[in-house]
Every structure is written in structure tokens, then in C-alpha cells.
Amino acid sequence: MTDAKETTIWEGKPSQWMNFKIFSFCILMTLCIVVALVIAGIKWWLCVFFLYPAVRAGFEWLALRSVKYKLTNRRFIHTEGVFNRITKEIKLNEIREARLIEPWYARIVKIGNLELILDTYSDISVMVEGISEPEKTRNLFGEMLNSENIESNK
């Protein structure tokens, strides 16, 4: 008999290290604007060019901050969105495999991506990006998937 109560096993958010490329680009763009202002002579109306990198970096930070992951004993819930919120729920019995992907740059800062391969006719997958302690998280998913398979085989 299965437990009627749904319990949270793991909750997480992606690391802001996922925005490293965008933040670097915005910093480089700001430095170029500063150099251009010094060369052209600092005029107050030219400061409007600082808006784009600041707004872009701020929005990307906020967008990544709004992403939430939650693993319960029955389902995986992925929520994202700044203005419009999207919540995806996947039942654990629909997940066939949890695959760990650790690019070299992500391993430097100890983050990783988890690819959840769904048990459907086509190879559909869901990416859980930028999580800290990726090996531990993959093991949690593996334990939950194994316990779900054991219960469904009864």
C-alpha cells in the first residue's frame, strides 16, 4: 500500500553561475561604453547607453532566480517565469532515466545539469540546469525512480 501523503524529497534552484556568459558580456559592454565616453567626451545624454547592459543583466538574474525545482515522492515539479509563471509536473513513473551532464566549465564551480529522460514513445527529456551537488541530486532521483519502479511492479 502506498503512502497517501506527498512529501518533499529535494528542492533546488539553478546557480547564478549559469549567467556567467551574459554577465561577462554586460561587464565588457559597460567597459566599452566607458572607453567610448572618455574618448568622445563625457556628455550626460550618452549615459543612456549604460541602460542596456544593466537591464539585460538584471533581467537575466531575475529570470534565473525565478526557476524552482522540487522532487516529491510522487512527482517532479519545475516552475519558471518572471511575469508569466509556467509550472510543469512530471509523475515519477513517467521518468525512465536521470542522466548527469557536467560540462568542464560547470565542474569548475561545482554545478551540473540533470537530464530527465521520459518514458514515452519518443525521446523527450527535461533539463534540470545549474544545480549544486549534482551527483547527490542524481542519486536522489535514482533512488526515487527505483522505489517508484518497485512499487509499480507490485
The reported pTM is 0.80
Write down the mean pLDDT value for the chain: 86
Residue type, 77: I
Domains of the chain (ranges, CATH numbers): 8-19+62-153 (2.30.29.30)
Cβ burial 126-144 (10 Å sphere, 16+ → b, else e): eebbbbeebeebbebbeeb
Q: Give mean pLDDT, residues 127-136.
A: 91
Ramachandran sector of residue 133 (left: φ over 0; alpha: ψ -120 to 50; beta: rest): left
**pLDDT greater at residue 2 or residue 22:** 22
CA 36, chain centre distance (Å): 35
Q: Are 142 and 136 in contact (CB under 8 A)?
A: no
CA distances from 23 to 36, 57, 150 (A): 20, 6, 45
When pLDDT is cut at 50, 70 and 90, the band that residue 112 belongs to is very high
